[in-house]
Structure 1
Amino acid sequence: MTSASWKRDFASGLIILVPLLVTTYIILWLYFALTAVPLPVESQTIEIFGEAVDVAEPLRVLLTLVIFVLVVFSLGYLMRTAFGDIIEGTIDRTMNQLPGLRVVYNASKMAVETVVSGADELQEPVKIETWQGMRMTAFKTGKSTEDGRDVLFLPTAPNITTGFVVEVDPDSYEETNERVEEALTRVLSAGFGEAEQTSIPMAVDTDDEESEESPVGGDA
């Protein structure tokens, strides 16, 4: 086995194992955090394989998740009403008057909005030349300014919850044939998740291409 071969195998193993370990760690951290929620769940034991097992902690976690989901749906329904708009506006104004905390509040709110609905609202990906000879991936937002410029979102990699909102002329960016998922994969993976590009046939200019006929030689 060559050096390049075992390095490739080791890297492939890390790509599979590390995300699983990180995901497992986060799930366990959330589980133990939810078990500390002070809900009135009495100790209950059940017999599993002949051994008594206390299921109070799993029940507390399940009950906490159910309550959280119900609260989220209730607030979401409330926010669709006129009264909900008043409440949201009041909360925003109050938090924006608190120095320091307003930065955390606005950043976390923007992050949640981007993660929950940002990918669905992003439209066709485009290429924009930010510096001479350097192109970056941006996304159409469907918005435009009063002077006719298109509003694009230019995300950072690998964290798409941050980025830049740029206003450019429609002829200042290049259309692509990519889907939103493909472009997001490239940005989220910092370029390592670039999908194989399929060759796109070049357009043939029919005006320049004429059928060649063999010359008819000789005189009758």
Structure 2
Amino acid sequence: MTSWKRDAASGLIVVIPVVVTLYIIYWVFAKIAGLALVATHLHNPYLAVVLSIVVFVLVVFAVGYLMRTALGRFLEDRLDDAMGYIPGLRIVYNASKMAVETALNGTEEFQKPVKVEPWGGMRMTGFRTGQRAADGREIVFIPTSPNITSGYVVEVDPEDIIETNESAEDALTRVLSAGFGNSTSGSSDVGRYFDDAGEATDEKGENGTANERGGERGRDGDAN
């Protein structure tokens, strides 16, 4: 591969994540500012965003303190029952609640990467959920690459789960980067892949040129 292609690939690896991150930050800020300006009638978007975040934090702590009381637990049960009677909405409500509970309370178990071997000779990266099926099998989440928000929920016998010594960061980096990432060095192996492909192409071209020259010399010898 030519040098300008390698430079372009290396530049894209650095620039694209930065642009995407900045766009997401801008999008979130714009959404919060838009809602805050409507709610507070403030003309300064930065002040509106700060005020909205402060109000949100106060509401979270107030509700959390209320959940420590009997009245709070009673209201939470009634809210769960009410959401359970609404078709469609109950799926979103229950899924989001379980996701938050897993992230806040079950992170120690969920952040244990494991390997699952669905077929002989092939392994897939998965994460324990800390849940078990009715027959005792462990429930493992296998994320897709590079979008880890989707994946497969599988029930696996405990003896079929392969333990690993890697961290959750290593496993997530590998999945998010489609296998190219390397969290220990903080870099990606995509550039090395392009270099190897370029070297293979160059070597193939050199071999082809050498073969052509050998054929030309053979034809010249036959002619003489």
Same fold judged by TM-score > 0.5? yes
Classify the secondary structure of the residue corresponding to 1:190.
coil
Classify the secondary structure of the residue corresponding to 1:28.
helix
Distance 2:136 2:87 in 1: 36
Tell me if structure 2 keeps the 8 A contact 1:96–1:102: yes
Following superposition, the deviation at residue 129 of structure 1 comes to 0.7
Distance 1:116 1:14 in 2: 35
Distance 1:34 1:147 in 2: 46
Following superposition, the deviation at residue 63 of structure 1 comes to 0.7
The aligned counterpart of 2:12 is 14
Is 2:118 the counterpart of 1:130? yes
Distance change (3 Å), C-alpha of 1:112 and 1:193: farther
Classify the secondary structure of the residue corresponding to 1:157.
coil
Unaligned runs of 5+ in 2: 186-224
Is 2:180 the counterpart of 1:192? yes
Which one of 87, 105, 109 corresponds to residue 99 of structure 1?
87
Following superposition, the deviation at residue 169 of structure 1 comes to 2.5
TM (norm. structure 1) is 0.66
Distance change (3 Å), C-alpha of 1:35 and 1:178: closer
The aligned counterpart of 1:23 is 21
Cα displacement string for residues 94-131 of structure 1 (whole angstroms, at most 9, x for unaligned residues): 22322222333334444545566665442432211112
Following superposition, the deviation at residue 66 of structure 1 comes to 0.9
Tell me if structure 2 keeps the 8 A contact 1:41–1:59: no
Is 2:67 the counterpart of 1:79? yes
TM (norm. structure 2) is 0.65
Bigger fraction of residues in helix: 2
State the superposition RMSD in angstroms.
3.1
Distance change (3 Å), C-alpha of 1:188 and 1:89: farther
The aligned counterpart of 1:166 is 154
Q: Could you list the structure 1 runs, at least 4 aligned residues long, displaced by more than 6 angstroms after superposition.
A: none
Moved more, 173-182 or 149-158: 149-158
Distance change (3 Å), C-alpha of 1:39 and 1:23: same
Distance 1:173 1:156 in 2: 18
Identity across the alignment (%): 56
Q: Which amino acid aligns with 2:15?
A: L
Distance change (3 Å), C-alpha of 1:30 and 1:177: closer
Tell me if structure 1 keeps the 8 A contact 2:109–2:128: no
